[in-house]
Amino acid sequence: MATFLFDKIIFGPVKSRRLGVSLGINLLPTKTKICNFNCIYCECGWTRDIEKAVSRLPRREEVYNALELRLSELNKKSFAPDVITYAGNGEPTLHPDFPGIIDDSIILRDKYFRKAKIAVLSNATTISNPLIKAALLKIDMNILKLDSAFDSTIKIHNQPRVNINVEDLINSLIGFNGKVIIQTLFLRGTHNGKVIDNTTPVEINAWLKAIDRIRPSEVMIYTISRDTPEKARLNKVRLIELKRIAALVESIGIKTQVSG
């Protein structure tokens, strides 16, 4: 099964199952993935050290020029995106100029499509950095990952390449004072002979307690929908089950979006 990489700085607009009409921005190389997670479900494939060593990040000026060109083209066509989304081939906040690039995108958004929202899809590993946190607090949709409340599950599910302590991560997420959207991907399967299932009652109970502590503005619940590096060893969670999990979140007063 084939995974894929985005081959441009700007891609789309595309129809996103969570965000609507989204104009994507890739701050990472177009020929390789750079991430400090190595999620077993990632549509961009595995993170390779050798590729990271030879990778080239687009300069801040390149990103600015590419975004302005695309927004100008869309403006001439009167085609307004719902969201300008930082995602792409890995973790966008790893770009050293990420805070400045966010400032640039706000300027360009206000110039061409003032009603469009700016979103960042991040694995939340860098949010203890004050500059990253400040940048994320400037945008409309600060979407951060929390796939489990257990270190052992994250170790298999997300395969972090940096030290991650879930309790520390939860406390950092609490520090956004509700200006954060939590995204969680639920799945079942095996990886290197180990069973993974973050939908068990124990998993859901611990995760729900974490969500209640964080009190995000919204929770996005979804499951795999594209090819993954693990191929057939990973299984989607049924929509009816995702909706049951969403109902638990909504019962504690938090808005929830489900994508099957």
Domains and CATH numbers, the chain: 10-259 (3.20.20.70)
What amino acid is encoded at 226 in this protein? R
pLDDT, tens only, 7-65: 799 998 988 777 889 999 999 888 788 888 888 887 776 677 645 544 678 999 999 99
Q: Kindly report, residue by residue over 206-229, the tens digit of the pLDDT.
A: 999 999 999 999 999 999 877 666
237: nearest Cα among 165, 131, 157: 157
Tell me, what DSSP letter sits at residue 96?
T
What value does the mean pLDDT take over residues 164-188? 97
Q: Which residues, at least 6 apart from 142, have a Cβ–Cβ distance to it below 8 Å? A: 119, 120, 122, 136, 176, 179, 180, 181
Q: What average pLDDT does the structure give for the chain? A: 91
List the one residue out of 152, 148, 140, 104 whose CA is nearest residue 123.
Answer: 148
What does the pLDDT read at residue 230?
65
